[in-house]
Chain A
Amino acid sequence: MKVTIDGISIEVPEGTTILNAARMIGGDIVPPAMCYYSKLEGSGGKCRTCLVKVSKGSEKDPRPMPKLIASCRTTVMDGMEVQNITSPEVIEARRGIVEMLLINHPLDCPICDQAGECHLQDLGYEHGLAKTRYEFDRRKFEKIDIGDKIQLHMTRCILCYRCVFTADQITDHRIHGILNRGDHSEISTYIHAAVDNDFSGNVIDVCPVGALTDKTFRFKNRVWFTKPVDAHRDCDHEKCNGKVTLWYKGEDVIRVTARKDVYGEVEEFICNTCRFDKKKTADWVIEGPRHIANTSVISSNHYETMHPLPVVKSDPKLIEANEEQFERNTRL
């Protein structure tokens, strides 16, 4: 099936969603997604940030779709033409969605441990929404401890349901879920029952905001002062292959997470032993520094690659003078 997104055509298999087709192309035209998670079945369709405009339905029926549609839930048709960043209507709608998501968000980024790797923060930044027009009181919830390792800040939650799907599909049985309806919806456990499961820690990774955070990392440091390093270990758990990212501060591993791809989705889910209990360098086999996009705040002050000026590259004298840096660069 042929689909054209923002003027770029691609052949995709039948049943592919528009969002996944865009991800196959890659680059700026990929719609953002707060609730869709490719590793979780049934996720998507809740946050509406991935709205796109279908300007041509298909080859057989070329009429445009009357409304903007959620690209994570809509499969492509042959000859479909989709507009994402080329359509001002989509940008405007997405702006509205982000503002909507931020209505009940406490905007406590200076405190939140997710700041720096938060998708809602990125979205707010992209759409220039640093301030809110909402004048009423925001939802208020008490902090809840889900087990002794995970903390839930319901005030920050955007109800993407990712953690619920994770608990349903990755762990054997789930204890937490959504209570109440609509505006009153709330992620919770019955009588604050502890989620004790070997894979429960993954809800921290899938949470696009700072609603579910690692209690062992709570207020330890800001993510942009830590240094991500890829590592692995032989994990006893049959479902976990022990491939993780270690976040170093100086000599200490202060956090362990799964490896996340460019869309912020984990590559493989990891077990709780790897995540919470193995916080010594001796436990791990280090693979090397993790590549962080230079647009991310985490890459600030991490001099991963050297970008020498053209004149340095051409002048033999300057090459000699910078020999040490070049060497270090190739070693990395």
Chain B
Amino acid sequence: MEPLTSKRKVIESKPLNFLERAYLPAILSGLRITGKHFFRKSVTIRYPEQKREFSENFRGMHSLKRDEEGRERCTACGLCALSCPAEAITMIAAERQPGEEHLYREEKYAAVYEINMLRCIFCGLCEEACPKEAIYLDGDIVPSNYLRKDFIYGKDKLVEEPLNQ
């Protein structure tokens, strides 16, 4: 076959000398390297229990915010879903009824708000598009799961906890 590059290097294999053929010295030097690593600081962490510090602009799980009075900020305008390049967000809007003023800030709210976390690429465009400062990707890493349907996060998982609890 023709060489694909000009950088080809011919490796010449010399016959092994006596020490190499003796087996034990090579094993011992290998064990020495292994042993050295026992006493070094480990590079991995035990992930779910231990966590590394995230950078300031880390984008994790979404959360739907509440305002200072504890009302949901989201008004289901659909701009997050429009801007989403992965088309991961869907919502169904509903009209606020009289007496629900303490729950929702505007006269329209998202009755259903779903993000498919398998589709989401965590680009943060929804955060940028939101005119009501309602969605932020300030959460943790999205936990793993066994079923695809469990990755569709509804309002129960996305909306922030109420203030006085």
What are 14 contact pairs spanning A and B, CB under 8 A? Answer: A109-B77, A110-B77, A110-B79, A111-B75, A111-B106, A111-B108, A115-B77, A219-B76, A219-B93, A220-B93, A221-B93, A222-B78, A224-B78, A224-B82
Which positions 22-37 of chain B face chain A at CB distance < 8 Å?
none
Task: Tell me the complex Cα distance, A220–B76, Å.
Answer: 11
On chain B, the number of residues with a Cβ less than 8 Å from chain A's Cβ atoms is 16
Which positions 134-173 of chain A face chain B at CB distance < 8 Å?
none
On chain A, the number of residues with a Cβ less than 8 Å from chain B's Cβ atoms is 15
Contact with A along B55-99 (1 / 0, CB 8 A): 000000000000000000001111101100001000001110000
User: Among the interface residues B82, B95, B132, which one has the most CB atoms of the partner chain A within 10 A?
Assistant: B82
Decide: A110 and B131 in contact? CB cutoff 8 A: yes
Instruction: Report the nearest A residue to B130, measured CB to CB.
Output: A110
Decide: A225 and B75 in contact? CB cutoff 8 A: no
Instruction: Report the nearest B residue to A218, measured CB to CB.
Output: B95
Task: Tell me the complex Cα distance, A110–B109, Å.
Answer: 10
Interface residues in chain B, defined as those with a beta carbon under 8 Å from any beta carbon in chain A: 75-79, 81-82, 87, 93-95, 106-108, 131-132
Decide: B93 and A110 in contact? CB cutoff 8 A: no
Task: Tell me the complex Cα distance, A301–B81, Å.
Answer: 11
Interface residues in chain A, defined as those with a beta carbon under 8 Å from any beta carbon in chain B: 108-111, 115, 218-222, 224-225, 297, 300-301
Decide: B82 and A297 in contact? CB cutoff 8 A: yes
Q: What 6 pairs across the A-B complex have the smallest Cβ distances?
A: A110-B77, A222-B78, A219-B93, A111-B108, A110-B75, A219-B108
Of A110, A115, A218, the residue contacting B106 (CB under 8 A) is A110
Query: Please, which residues of chain A bring their CB within 8 A of the CB of B93?
Result: 219-221
Instruction: Report the nearest B residue to A220, measured CB to CB.
Output: B93
Instruction: Report the nearest B residue to A107, measured CB to CB.
Output: B131
What is the number of contacts between chain A and chain B, taking CB atoms within 8 Å?
A: 37
Known contacts A219-B93, A300-B82; 15 additional CB pairs below 8 A are A108-B106, A109-B77, A110-B75, A110-B106, A110-B108, A111-B75, A111-B107, A219-B76, A219-B95, A221-B78, A221-B93, A224-B78, A224-B82, A225-B78, A301-B87
CB distance from B86 to the nearest CB of A (A): 12
Instruction: Report the nearest A residue to B132, measured CB to CB.
Output: A110
Instruction: Report the nearest B residue to A223, measured CB to CB.
Output: B78
Task: Tell me the complex Cα distance, A220–B108, Å.
Answer: 11
Task: Tell me the complex Cα distance, A219–B94, Å.
Answer: 6
Query: Please, which residues of chain B bring their CB within 8 A of the CB of A220?
Result: 93
Decide: A225 and B81 in contact? CB cutoff 8 A: yes
Query: Please, which residues of chain A bring their CB within 8 A of the CB of B106?
Result: 108, 110-111
Query: Please, which residues of chain B bring their CB within 8 A of the CB of A109?
Result: 77, 131
Query: Please, which residues of chain A bring their CB within 8 A of the CB of B81?
Result: 225
Task: Tell me the complex Cα distance, A109–B77, Å.
Answer: 8
